[in-house]
Structure 1
């Protein structure tokens, strides 16, 4: 048994009420989860809100890991941090990605409701609708059956940012302008001149993608669709590589995988290959860190972001919409920030072992 001294970080905004000054646990038989439960029984905070660190080394205590994997003795100080209200990362992403699918379906099929008229969509509008819904359906599938998360919860307030980015920007804003009636059927006119003038006015906003001929535009749509398919399949492949790497070499920032198993679907639980960390030696070996290698990762640190941006670039060219361009720019800025942070983390953690020729996001450039 060891007596651990508990304290809160000095810079924590929200004070943890009823946090005990010390707690006694069996170092050889207990896990970090047992320590969290002992603290939770006094503070009445959800376990997902509590994050523990060793005060001396700033080492994070990984949920479901044995206490004997850490340097603990009587009087060891443990910092208890309140992360605030949490939401499952899987739930957050499912909510974010499913929203645009429903929104685009409504704008595409409920024309009278949003535009006050019934009209026939152009080929580029129909193609854009197909590619966008397939993209988000793929993201939903990956969230359920592919992604393995280092942290299974995030701040609850993240949902507002995700809804703004996906539901508003790529959902309502993009759908409204992409499916806007650009070439309505011409009503009956008393003269051929009126008929021609009406037809010209109705179709004035319909611009050919790369040339004035229908044949050239059709060829362009085929080409852009082919690049989009390549980008989406490549993005899926990189996600599989990352998931496989995290299964074999989970990071110390990972949270309780047993919790994922209880909440995820049976197929997803089998995919995760959950194992209990029953010993300190098992824990140390399973926490070995690796960086991803293989398809796409030979060029950049985050090829999954690069291929996703390539797919959205194709959609922007197909729609020729300012709304699509705005979403592309916003996504690029966000992904660049994440990729740069991960690139620096890899370089710092692996040093000379990390390939120097790898760029951040754009192959051979940056």
Structure 2
């Protein structure tokens, strides 16, 4: 047993009932320390983040011995505020575009001042959006494994704005308005639909591979191999970008292009971080030839 000092890094971040010291079994896990602090402070375990004086985070599931805690070691506690599960966030994010596209498509008189026959492009877009986001909802329910159990509640609004506004309102409103353009040649139209089907299916396959690497309820990480992963660290992002690029070609709207651009830039940044993390976690083992997201490029 060791007695550690419990602190908050800032006086402004004061936590009510936080003890100044706590006796812990150095052979137990980080969860035991978190649960002990939760019992004293009456805050949920998901709200508490623990770090050491050098900013090393105490990762749940890790033995305390790894951090070499001694008597009088300092453990800093941060209250992350009200939390919500990642799954809940995803359900809310993806439900928005489904609802918005159905509303814009079926309420023509309300949004465009008259009723009219939807073009083939518009019918195709609605089907693509519904399939894409229903796939996302089902993946959240049955496929995805989350390394973090929760996130701050207020992040729901930040994360959802990307999907609800860019993919929902902007993409839908400017794509479902009366379409007077010349339809795409059949060869181009069906090629783009085929590209979209290929990209969506490939994205799903990569999600299955990632899910198989992490047993349910764990934060275990392994080097992914197989479909797409032999070329890039994040083929799921690459195929997602390819899918929305097909939508840009079919709709030929600036709003679709904007959503694709913002999404691709965002996923590229995520991919770079994951690519770097893989290389740090598996030094000397991670394939050097892999790029982050775009095969042979970046």
Instruction: Work out whether the TM-score is over 0.5.
Output: yes
- Residues 54 and 61 in structure 1, CA contact (< 8 A), matched pair in contact too: no
RMSD across aligned C-alpha pairs, in angstroms?
2.2
Question: For each residue in 1:55-114, what CA deviation from the matched residue of structure 2 results, as whole angstroms up to 9, or x when unmatched?
Answer: 468252415x55566534433332212223322111001100011111111111121221
State how far apart, in whole Å, the 2-side matches of 1:61 and 1:76 are: 17
State how far apart, in whole Å, the 2-side matches of 1:355 and 1:312 are: 28
**Partner residue, 1:43:** 41
1:115 aligns with 2:112: yes
State how far apart, in whole Å, the 2-side matches of 1:142 and 1:327 are: 22
- Residues 56 and 77 in structure 1, CA contact (< 8 A), matched pair in contact too: no
Q: How does 1:175-186 map to 2 (within 5 A)?
A: 175-182=172-179
- Residues 213 and 222 in structure 2, CA contact (< 8 A), matched pair in contact too: yes
Query: Runs of at least 4 residues of structure 1 off by over 6 A?
Result: none
**Partner residue, 1:34:** 32
Q: How does 1:116-265 map to 2 (within 5 A)?
A: 116-182=113-179, 203=180, 206-209=181-184, 217-247=185-215
The runs of 5 or more residues in structure 1 that have no matched partner are 183-202, 210-216, 248-271, 276-285
**Partner residue, 2:51:** 53
Alpha-carbon distance, 1:345 to partner:
1.8
State how far apart, in whole Å, the 1-side matches of 2:139 and 2:148 are: 16
- Residues 13 and 78 in structure 2, CA contact (< 8 A), matched pair in contact too: no
1:309 aligns with 2:249: no
Alpha-carbon distance, 1:26 to partner:
4.0
TM-score (norm 1): 0.75
Aligned residues: 298
Structure 1 residue aligned with 2:275, among 322, 343, 346?
A: 343
**Partner residue, 1:197:** none
**Partner residue, 1:6:** 6
TM-score (norm 2): 0.92
Question: For each residue in 1:274-310, what CA deviation from the matched residue of structure 2 results, as whole angstroms up to 9, or x when unmatched?
Answer: 58xxxxxxxxxx95x4221111011111100000000
**Structure 1 stretch 136-145 or stretch 66-75: which is displaced more?**
66-75
Structure 2 residue aligned with 1:353, among 276, 285, 291?
A: 285
State how far apart, in whole Å, the 2-side matches of 1:143 and 1:13 are: 37
Structure 1 or 2, whichever has the larger Rg, is: 1
Question: Does the residue aligned with 1:351 lie in a helix, a strand or coil?
Answer: coil
Structure 1 residue aligned with 2:227, among 264, 288, 295?
A: 295
State how far apart, in whole Å, the 1-side matches of 2:276 and 2:31 are: 31
State how far apart, in whole Å, the 2-side matches of 1:90 and 1:343 are: 24
Q: Which has the higher contact order (CA 8 A, sep 6+)?
A: 1
